[in-house]
Structure 1
Amino acid sequence: MTPEIKIAPVYDDASPAVIDLILPIQTIEFNVNVSLEDQPDLIEINSNYHAGGGGFWGIFVDEELVGTIALINTGHKAGAIRKMFVKKEFRGGELRLAQRLLDHLIAYCREVGMTDLYLGTVAQLKAAHRFYERNGFQKIAMSDLPPYFPRMNADTIFYHLPI
């Protein structure tokens, strides 16, 4: 049976499910030294993402939240991708959930007139690096980030995509 897949905006009321998805991926699976206290945006999704003209989306398989992607509108016709995570058992394969999330975010960016996307990530996420590079993102030096990019302390690798 084909699973039902849906991408939908998520808001503050989904914060517990978002935290339950993201925090174990960061801390247990990839051993990134980050806590919930370091990420208050996971609790206040509305004010950190939606209110500024960005967004926060979840991908649901048969109504279970299995992935997320977020966008901060940084102004300057640019955005910063945040919180792109997919549960391990839903990565890759024929469902292509990460690709669907990224395509959805890029379509939104085009719709609202953004011309540039940036993101920061950590060295441990090698598969994520390959994914971004397959999607046309170019690795850039931290010094090449625009001054309005909201850098996270844990991030050491940065990417740019003109859209």
Structure 2
Amino acid sequence: MTGTIEIASFEAEDQQGVIDLILPIQREEFGFAITAEDQPDLAAIPAFYQSGKGDFWVARCEDRVVGSIGLKDIGNDQAALRKMFVAAPFRGREHGVAAGLLQRLLDEARERGIRDVFLGTTDRFLAAHRFYEKHGFVEIAKAELPESFLFMAVDTKFYVFRLAAAL
């Protein structure tokens, strides 16, 4: 793919692009029977993510949303990483979209005083497990998650990035 990748905060005009990015990955690549209606956060990104210390970023290439990542403020200077998706043609080290999105999230979280970033994923996302571990996330037991962590039904594996320790 050609074109410059821009990472920016979500804006209202990104709404359909985010849905068009996420749903095919969930349904076609990973076989989850899930709809946009099953994910009310997708219809309310500003209210759900862009409040408190949270935010939501998109990667754009030529006005097309090719990546997304959300930081959900869960209180107590903690947050959850959610909705990290990258369109297949933009995956891989040579594009740097996933790494760029994650770095933006961690930099912003640090600036906002977040101490810990938690995430949940499924056993199926093996490449995601390697990616998170390579970038400093440590696997933890479900019991170690804060009570305020929002579980997705498909989540079976959990990670934390301790920003306070990384300062």
- TM norm structure 2: 0.92
Task: Tell me how far 1:19 sits from its aligned partner.
Answer: 0.5
Q: Is 2:72 the partner of 1:72?
A: yes
Q: State the alpha-carbon separation in 2 of the partners of residues 119 and 43 from structure 1.
A: 21
What secondary structure does 1:37 align onto? coil
Question: What is the aligned partner in structure 1 of residue 150 from structure 2?
Answer: 150
Q: 5+ residue gaps in structure 2?
A: none
Question: What is the aligned partner in structure 2 of residue 40 from structure 1?
Answer: 40
Q: 5+ residue gaps in structure 1?
A: none
Q: Is 2:104 the partner of 1:104?
A: yes
Question: What is the aligned partner in structure 1 of residue 3 from structure 2?
Answer: 3
What secondary structure does 2:132 align onto? helix
Aligned residues: 163
Question: What is the aligned partner in structure 1 of residue 136 from structure 2?
Answer: 136
RMSD: 1.5
What secondary structure does 1:19 align onto? helix
Task: Tell me how far 1:2 sits from its aligned partner.
Answer: 6.4
Task: Tell me how far 1:63 sits from its aligned partner.
Answer: 2.4
Deviation sequence 1:54-104 (CA, Å, 0-9, x none): 111000122221000001011111110000000011100412110000000
The amino acid that maps onto 2:100 is R
Q: Is 2:23 the partner of 1:23?
A: yes
The amino acid that maps onto 2:153 is N
Q: State the alpha-carbon separation in 2 of the partners of residues 73 and 93 from structure 1.
A: 29
Task: Say if 1:2 and 1:34 are closer, same or farther in 2 by CA, change over 3 A.
Answer: closer
What secondary structure does 1:23 align onto? helix
Task: Tell me how far 1:52 sits from its aligned partner.
Answer: 3.0
- The percent identity for this pair of structures is 45
Q: State the alpha-carbon separation in 2 of the partners of residues 141 and 33 from structure 1.
A: 26
Moved more, 138-147 or 102-111: 138-147
**Retained in 2: the 8 A contact 1:12–1:44?**
no
